[in-house]
Amino acid sequence: MRVAKVALVLCCCSSAAALVAVPSHRPAATRHRATISMAEGDSRGGLRLLEWVPSQKLLVKTARFAWSTIWRIMISELAPQSPEGDYVRPAPQLGSAASWPAELPAVGGRYHVYLGNACPWCHRVGLTLALRGLLGGVSVTRMDDDPERASRGGWCFSADAPDPLCGANDLREVYDRCTPGGAYTGRCTAPLLVDLQTGEIISNESGDIVRMLNQLDLDLPEGGGERAVDLYPAELRAAVDATNAWVYEAVNNGVYRCGFATTQAAYERAEGDVHEGLARCEALLGASRFLCGDVVTEADVRLLPTICRFDGVYASFFRCGRRQIRSDYPQVWSCPTPQTHAHPKLQIHPWSHLTRAPTD
C-alpha cells in the first residue's frame, strides 16, 4: 500500500524563498523526512570558499593571521609601541624651552599657523593666539582632517580655507615647499608655524610654538590685539614647567597611551596615570582658580584641550572613562568656563574644535 506524503522543496527566487508542497510517493515503511534542495542556477553569493577550501580551520586561521598582521603594521606606523606594549609617541609635544628666534622681526602678517580643529595639540596653539591677542597679526589656516584626500597624514585644505603659502592641496605639499630640495621625508604634523616671507618652517612642535608665541609682541593697529595675558610669567616659570611635565605624561598623552596600548599591563598603567593626573588637577583647582595660582598660564592652556575632549571622545574611544570629568572631577569640569571667557578675544568655544565624530 502506498501513502502520500508531503516533501518540502526550498525554491529560491530573487526576492525570497518559497516553500512549495508537492505530492510524492514513497514506500510506507520509509520514515517521513523532509528533503531540502537548492534550485539550479540560483546564486548562493560570495566566493563559496567553504566548498573548495580543504579545511575550514585553515581558512579561519589564515584570515586571523592576515588581519592581525595588517593591524600590527598599521599600529606600528601610526602608534609605535615599546616591547612592553606601551604607546610611544613619535613626535612628543613636550616642548624644548624654545624662544622666539632673535633673527625674526616682530612683524604682523609675516607669520602663519596651520591648525587642525580636531587636534588637541593644535587647539593649545589656537588658545595661545587668542589669549595673546595675536589673531590679528598671525594668520591662521584651519585644515580638514581627511586621510583619503591627503597624500601623507590627514591634513588637507578646502576651497573655503586655501593654503596661503603655495596653494598646496595638503599639508605634505607645504612641508615639501618649505624643505630644501622639495622632498620632505618626516611626519607631516600640525600645528605648523611658518615664515611666509622666507617660506621656512619655524616650528612644528606645539609646546615650542606656544612658548614662542608668548614671547611675540606685534605692533598691531589700535584695537587689533590685546597682550595682557602673559602665559609664562617669571615668578611662576618653575611651577609651570613642573606642571607641564606631569600633565603631559599623565593626562595629555596619558589618554593616547590608554587608547593605543597593546597589552593589558600597558593599558592599566596608562589608565591609572590618567586618573591620578586628573585627581591631582582636581586638588589644585580646588585650592586655586588655575593650576599654578590665580592667573591663567601655559599649564592651563595645555590642560584645557584634553579636558574638553575627555567625556565625549577619550572616555569611550580610548577606554579611560572609569570616571568622567563632569561627574567625578567637578573642579576640573568648571575650569574651562573661566579660562575660555577670561579674555575677550577668545570667543570660540573649545567644543567647536571637534569637527568630526566617528560614525562607525
CA distances from 181 to 172, 185, 200, 201, 335 (A): 14, 11, 13, 14, 46
pLDDT computed for residue 20 by the predictor:
35
Q: Which three cell numbers stand for residue 271?
A: 589608565
Q: Please give the positions annotated as active site.
A: 119, 256
**Residue-level pLDDT, tens digit, the chain, 360 residues:** 433 433 333 333 333 333 334 444 444 544 555 555 555 555 556 677 777 778 888 888 888 999 888 877 776 777 888 889 898 887 766 566 789 999 999 999 999 999 997 899 999 999 999 999 999 899 999 999 888 888 888 899 999 999 999 999 999 999 999 999 888 988 899 999 999 999 999 999 999 999 999 999 887 665 455 556 999 999 999 999 999 999 999 999 999 999 999 899 999 999 999 999 999 999 999 999 999 999 999 999 999 999 999 999 999 999 999 999 999 999 999 876 434 433 333 333 333 433 333 333
- Which of 233, 215, 227, 248 has the alpha carbon at shortest distance from 296? 233
Q: Where are the domains of the chain?
A: 1-45, 49-78, 111-215, 234-342
pLDDT computed for residue 4 by the predictor:
40
pLDDT computed for residue 53 by the predictor:
77
What sign does the CA torsion over 113, 118, 121, 126 have?
Answer: positive
Domain 111-215 identical in fold to domain 234-342: no
Please state which of the four CATH numbers 2.60.40.2310, 3.40.50.300, 3.40.30.10, 3.10.130.10 is assigned to the domain occupying 111-215. Answer: 3.40.30.10
What sign does the CA torsion over 202, 206, 208, 212 have?
Answer: positive
Exposed, middle or buried, 166 (CB in 10 Å: 0-12/13-18/19+)? exposed
pLDDT computed for residue 320 by the predictor:
95
pLDDT computed for residue 39 by the predictor:
52
Q: For 234-342, which CATH class?
A: mainly alpha
Return the residue matching grid coordinates 605639499: 173
